Amino acid sequence: MKISTIFYSLKQGFINIKRNKLFSLASVGTIAACIFLIGLFYAVLANLQYIVKSAEDNVAVVIFFDYESTQEQKDAIEESIKKRAEFGTLTYVSAEEAWEEYKELYFKDAPELAEGFKDDNPLANSDSFRVTLNDISMQDEFVDFVEDLEGVRKVNYSDTTADTLEDFGKMVGFVSVAIIIILLAVGIFLISNTVMIGIAVRKEEIGIMKLMGAKDLFIRMPFMVEGVMIGITGAAIPLLVLVMIYERVIKSILEQFATVGSAMSLLSTGDVFAILTPAAFIVGGGIGLIGSIITIRKHLRV
């Protein structure tokens, strides 16, 4: 394609937008609203998934050894666990560490009650491996494997927590896909209407260009450019608004709900918009391009 053709298409695209100001503004506004909702939903979804992932990382399978287990047996158990595909991290917890954690959890408000066990650790011979998984949905399979290992006395785990986190993650994923599809469909529909108006206005001019031997791509390009420019413009506006809103919301949560902020982590502005920014421009431009192509094929017989 010649450079002159590209500049001509860009020029005509701007002219089309200027000529149909009201429809172009309506399309930009609607695309902006769609991208805003998609961006807002993505920010919430990304943080929910991050929180769920953090919660999954804290769901541990605790493996207790037989009372007569030797260090060699414990090392063999550790080696077998680390070979598993679902393995995430492994931490050895001694009997003394287990008792300190127990005291902190159950005798926090009455530490004097724990003094009676000062010289007699009730959790003696209860050292263990605390294992986290990189895929919580594989917990049952992992537990079945570990329970059959020689030297394992008992395995503690929470199947209810794992199932709840897995089901919640799936539900969030399905809902997000459905909402995004609806918003994209609305955006494409509106872009199509805007481009269709441009085609109707230039119908006679297009006919003359065709009679003069203009190629199909030469005629189609300005309308495609118009759709893409509307889509990109519609994506830029909500991104600026979303950045300001997200920063203020995160700051407000961290300041006003310090307890919640310390209990769970939220994604930073950079983490969210490193993905959202290019995605928004791609989606906006894609909506404009697809809407234009659909309309050109339907209403422009060239």
Does residue 186 sit in the same domain as residue 244? yes
Sequence-ordered list of residues with C-beta below 8 angstroms from that of 237, at least 6 positions apart, any chain: 28, 32
Give the number of C-alpha atoms closer than 13 A to the C-alpha of residue 272, restricted to the C-beta side. Answer: 25
Give bridge partners of residue 64 from the DSSP assignment: 128, 154
The DSSP call for residue 85 is T
Claim to verify: residue 28 and residue 89 sit in the same structural domain? no
Give the pairing of strands 60-65 and 128-133.
antiparallel
Minimal CA–CA distance to 156: which of 281, 63, 278? 63
Q: Which residue stretches of the chain are H helix?
A: 3-19, 21-58, 71-82, 95-106, 139-147, 159-201, 203-211, 216-256, 258-263, 269-299
108, 142, 157 — which closes off a domain? 157
Amino acid 120 reads D
pLDDT digits (tens, 9 = 90+) for 147-205: 888 888 888 887 766 667 667 767 777 777 787 788 777 767 766 666 666 666 556 66
Contact status, residue 128 vs residue 134, Cβ threshold 8 Å: no
Q: Are residues 78 and 125 in the same domain?
A: yes
Find the distance separating the first CA and the last CA of the chain, reported in whole Å. Answer: 19
Q: Which of 157, 174, 196 is the last residue of a domain?
A: 157
Question: What's the CATH code of the domain at 133?
Answer: 3.30.70.3040
Q: How many domains are there within the chain?
A: 2
Q: What pLDDT sits at residue 277?
A: 92
Answer yes or no: do 146 and 169 share one domain.
Answer: no
Domain boundary among 100, 123, 157: 157
Number of C-beta neighbours around residue 172 at 10 A: 15
SS3 of 124, please?
A: coil
User: Among residues 176, 277, 300, 276, which one has the least CA distance to residue 227?
Assistant: 300
How many Å apart are CA 230 and CA 281, to the nearest integer?
11
Residues 32, 170 within the same domain: yes
Range of the domain at 121: 60-157
Please tell me whether residues 45 and 172 are part of one structural domain.
Answer: yes
Q: Are residues 51 and 84 in the same domain?
A: no
The three-class DSSP label of residue 156 is strand
Q: How far is CA 35 from the centre of its chain?
A: 15
Instruction: Please indicate, yes or no, whether residues 181 and 270 belong to a single structural domain of this protein.
Output: yes
Same domain, 191 and 293: yes
| 173 shares a domain with 153 | no
Same domain, 107 and 195: no
Q: Are residues 38 and 92 in the same domain?
A: no
Q: What tokens appear for 200 in the block?
A: 């109707």
Taking CB atoms within 8 Å and a gap of at least 24, the contacts of 70-77 are: 70/151, 73/150, 73/151, 74/129, 74/151, 76/150, 76/151, 77/129, 77/146, 77/149, 77/151, 77/152
Q: Which stretches of the chain drop beneath a pLDDT of 50?
A: 106, 113-114, 260-262, 302
